[in-house]
Amino acid sequence: AADLAMFAAKADGRNTLHFFNQAMQDDANRRSRLEHDLRLALERDELELHLQPQVDAGERITGMEALLRWQHPELGRISPADFIPLAESSGLIIPLGDWVLAQACRLLAEWRREPAMARLGLAVNISPRQFRHPDFVAGLQRLLQDSGVDPARLELEITESLLIDDIEQTIGRMEQLRRLGLRFSLDDFGTGYASLGYLKRLPLSQLKIDQSFVRDLLRDPNDEAIVRTIIALGRSLDLQVIAEGVETAEQASRLQELGCTAFQGYWFGKPDSTRHWHARLSDQAETEHRAAGD
């Protein structure tokens, strides 16, 4: 019986091992397929920028965040949470990031001619590898010049991961971009490992409270304490604080009570196509125009 049990364990162990390897192999295959397809997606026009509104305390739309969408011809929609890390590790984030920034500048140039959108800011997510690329600053400068866009309309969302190593280089580069007129927002704030001491040295204009602290804000006193702290920190460093992932009216009003002045989340609007948001903003402008009495 003892021998039998041993045999079973071994067999089982072998099966488990086999299963594990198979899962790893499947995962590796999926990754290399996605990587291959992502390369093509850039050429085949399968990528699209969606927009999600950012609103002020009066619920007026003050800006938009650009969020990348990939419609794979066979696998359907693939989340940026899946393909951005892949693009980072493969280096594809460089052409991909260039594409996003070029689209963003095109959008901003278009908005300049539309009264309903001329004052909107546009926030774009920037990956660490993209930010650290030697051509990043020059490339962006060229894009801005060629499109004639006011750099102050463009906000770069970076994350704390950029602040862990090469901090001096990061600060130098941020200052260069700041001098060009661009703004910086620190995304997913509170989830990384960056030292708070660096915050005062960074030319930031905004802290973005991570959605994980907003989710349970009304139930978890720890989350409320963290949100309070971020808002206080923003105030003392003279940074705007925006909350992301606001899904309910209750979360929005609690955030307002805590002193938050900018918001983003499904409650105010889900990410949707540029077409969708252009139509919505034109309607809104027309209504306001009529309400103003002519």
63 φ/ψ angles, rounded to the nearest 5 degrees: -170, 180
* Shortest CB 186 distance to ligand C2E, Å: 11
Q: How far apart are CA 58 and CA 41, in angstroms?
A: 39
Query: Binding to ligand C2E by residue 84, rule CB under 6 A?
Result: yes
* Shortest CB 7 distance to ligand C2E, Å: 48
Choices 14-22, 78-86, 105-113, 162-170; region in contact with ligand C2E by CB under 6 A = 78-86
Paired tokens of 238: 């003279």
Query: Binding to ligand C2E by residue 187, rule CB under 6 A?
Result: yes
52 vs 170 by CB, closer to ligand C2E: 52
Strands (E), the chain: 47-56, 61-72, 76-78, 121-125, 154-159, 183-189, 206-209, 240-243, 262-263, 272-273
Taking CA atoms, 111 is separated from 121, 138, 278, 292, in Å, by 10, 24, 9, 22
Instruction: Find residue 61's DSSP bridge partners.
Output: 55
Binding to ligand C2E by CB under 6 A, coded x per residue (else -) over 34-53, reads ------------------x-
**Which residues make up the interface to Mg ion (CB under 5 A)?**
125, 157, 187-188
The count of chain residues that interact with ligand C2E, using the rule CB under 6 A, is: 22
Query: Binding to ligand C2E by residue 56, rule CB under 6 A?
Result: no
Residue 52 interacting entry, from ligand C2E, Mg ion, none, C-beta within 5 to 8 Å by type: ligand C2E
> What residues from 127 to 146 belong to the interface with ligand C2E (CB under 6 A)?
127
DSSP states of 243-265 as a string?
Answer: E----SHHHHHHHHHTT--EE-S
